[in-house]
Amino acid sequence: MSKQPTGGRILCVGEAMAELMLGNNESAQPSIGFAGDTLNTAIYLKRLLKEPSELSYVTAVGNDPLSSRLLNMISAESIDTSLINTSADRLLGLYAITTDESGERTFSYWRSQSAARTLFQNGNELDFSHLAEAEVVYFSAITLAILPASVRTAFIAELDRLRKKNNLIVVFDSNYRPALWESQGDAQKFVSDAWRITDIALPSVDDEQHLFGDDDEDGVVSRLRGYGISRGALKRGDRGPLSLAEHLETQSIELKFSTDKPVVVVDTTAAGDSFNAGYLSVILDGGDDRTALHAGHDCAMRVIGHSGAIIPLDEWTQAS
């Protein structure tokens, strides 16, 4: 990747939701928080970045108590909320999460009328002006899936235009959720279009194989290379990440856990999102790919030892 960030504005674009955590048994007392794939990455990225950067979250919320508390939570993370629109007739989306004894999770969603589905839409007009001053834009396939098809098309086209005009760096994670898409074919089309304009790719091998039917990991990497991708990381769960940088394409990180400090998996929610944050924090601070892979892995290992997507800021600071 020839383009290098210089400490400018980073935009993370997507859907933030209320998170109802139900635990792993029906007698557990529910608790509520806020999360969403790109929001999770934004929060951990802001916490990890060493060089001064303005990080903004771009979404739409409702005019309701949960939306107000979400905005307060994002602001408390020193993330700019000035680009978040408020919908007069829609509310914040909600999901409930249960976990089994191994930390694997099951979700239930209430998001069909989420305010975030109106993102970039101003009446009958589209408004992408928020993107104009960005140096880096991070989004996911969930960001695309919640938007009408015409808005997805225009959003990708605008990112492509800004890459050429402003040297914008586009970062994409193909976080595939079949239930959000009209069809698998639609998802394939729009995710492929997004990969073609991506500068830093952060896919998961499971998502890619599920969506595109690749026979194996080599097939995934080959297809990604066909889009022109030459920077990023392929997430492979407990096998560790694989660099997508051309000079490191055959190298991966071997997982080695200290025997006196084993990793206890409590909740795998946000594992990939937090990896993205750790990886990007190094790349955007000018670090090398190998260090970035380790940083992503370390961040994810920390997050899966905690219940819920976001480790509270005070707990994060005390443990740092």
CB 211 within 8 A of CB 176: yes
Cα 262 from Cα 78, distance rounded (Å): 32
In the chain, the N- to C-terminal Cα span, in Å, equals 31
Identify the H or E element spanning 93.
strand 93-99
Cα 191 from Cα 141, distance rounded (Å): 6
Can you read off the two tokens belonging to residue 217? 């990991």
Is residue 195 classed exposed, middle or buried when 0-12, 13-18 and 19+ CB atoms within 10 A define those classes?
A: buried
Can you read off the two tokens belonging to residue 75? 């602001």
CB 114 within 8 A of CB 92: yes
Examine the residue annotation and report whether 260 is marked as an active-site residue of this protein.
no
DSSP letter string over 126-161?
A: E--GGGTT-SEEEEEHHHHHTS-HHHHHHHHHHHHH
Tally of CB atoms within 10 A around 242: 21
The set of residues, in sequence order, having a beta carbon less than 8 Å from that of 161 and lying 6+ positions away, is: none
Residue from 273, 289, 298, 314 carrying the catalytic annotation = 273
Can you read off the two tokens belonging to residue 288? 């090398």
Is residue 83 classed exposed, middle or buried when 0-12, 13-18 and 19+ CB atoms within 10 A define those classes?
A: middle
Tally of CB atoms within 10 A around 315: 11
Cα 198 from Cα 85, distance rounded (Å): 26
- Residues marked as catalytic: 273
